[in-house]
Amino acid sequence: MNARRLEAETIRDSILAITGKLDLTEGGDTLPTHSLETFLPNLTTFNPSAVIKTARLPENLRYRRTVYLPIFRTKQMKELDILNYFDFAEPTQLNASRRTTVVPTQSLFLLNSPWIAEQAEVLATKLMQDDQLLDRQRVNELILLIFNRKSTEAEIMRGLEFVYDFERRASADPTVNAAGPPGRLAWTAYIQTLLASNEFLYRI
C-alpha cells in the first residue's frame, strides 16, 4: 500500500489547525526584524549553534504556517524541532524529493516533546470549557477533528475508558498533581495519543 506520511510542515500546521490556533495570514517578512532580539538573542556571538539553540519565535509568528517561518541553514530552532525530526529538506541543497525516515527518535519526539504536549493541552482546555458537551461527545469531536472522520461506538468507549482510567491514576499519583488537574491531564494525554497515532500521521 502507498501510505504516505505527512511532511514535517503538514504535521505542524495540521496540529495547529486542529487546536484552532493556526494563523492563516499570508505573506510578510521571513526574517522577523521587528523583534530580532527575541528571535536571535545570541546573534552577536557569531556562533551558529549557539544562535540556533537560543532562537525563539516572536509571539506573532508562533502560530503562523510553517512555510512563512524563518529557517536556518543547518538545523532548525528548538521550537521547530518537528522539522529536524520529520525529514525537513536541507535548505542549502536542491532536493528533488524528500526521504521519509521511520526511526524511534521520531516517536520519542511525538511522545515527549513539550511543544506537542502544549498544543494538546490547548485543545484539552478548550474542550473542557464547553460544559454543554458530554464526555462521549468530546471523544467524538476529537476523532472528527484529528482523523477527519466519524467515530465508531467502540472507539468512543475506548476513548472514554482511557480518559477515566488515566484521570483516576493521575489523581492517585501525588507526583503528577503539579502538572495540572487530573481531568485536563487525561484529556491532554488522550489528544496527544491521537496526534501521535499512525492514522493522524499517514495519508492513505
Partner 1 sequence: MDNRHFIPPAVSRRDFLRRTGNGFGAIALAALGTEQSMLASTSSPLLPKPAHYAARAKRVIFLFMQGGPSQMDLFDYKPKLAEFAGKPFKLPANYEAPGLNKTKLMPPISSFRRYGESGLHMTEWFPMIGNVADELCVLRGMQTDTEAHTTAVRQINTGAPVQVRPSMGAWIVYGLGTENSNMPGFITIRPSLTGDAGSPQNFGAAFLPAIYQGTPVGLAKSEEPAAVDYSRNEKLTSGLQSRQMEMLRALNRDFVSRTPDSAMEGMIESFELAFRMQSEAPGLMDLSKESKATQKLYGIDEKETRDLGQQCLLARRLVEAGVRFVQVNDDGWDHHVSIRELLPKKCKQVDRPIAALITDLKARGLLEDTLVIWGGEFGRTPFDQDLSLGKAGEEKRGREHNPRGFTMWLAGGGVKGGLVHGVTDDFAFRAVDQKVHMHDLHATILHLLGLDHEKLTYRYSGRDFRLTDVYGRVVSEILA
Residue 24 to residue 138: CA distance in whole angstroms: 26
Nearer to partner 1, 60 or 137 (CB): 137
Shortest Cβ 7–partner 1 spacing (Å): 14
C-beta of 62 vs 73, nearer to partner 1: 73
Shortest Cβ 193–partner 1 spacing (Å): 5
Q: How far apart are CA 135 and CA 127, in angstroms?
A: 10
Rounded to a whole number of angstroms, the minimum distance from the CB of residue 12 to partner 1 is 16
- List residues binding partner 1 (CB under 8 A): 1-3, 5, 49, 74-75, 81, 87, 90, 92-93, 99-109, 111-114, 117, 126-127, 130, 141, 144-145, 148-150, 155, 158, 162, 165-166, 169-170, 173, 175-176, 179, 185, 189-190, 192-194, 196-199, 201-202, 204
**What span, in angstroms and rounded, lies between the C-alpha atoms of 168 and 164?**
6
CA atoms within 13 A on the CB side of 3: 8
CB-based burial, 165-174: b 16+ in 10 Å, e otherwise: ebbeebeeee
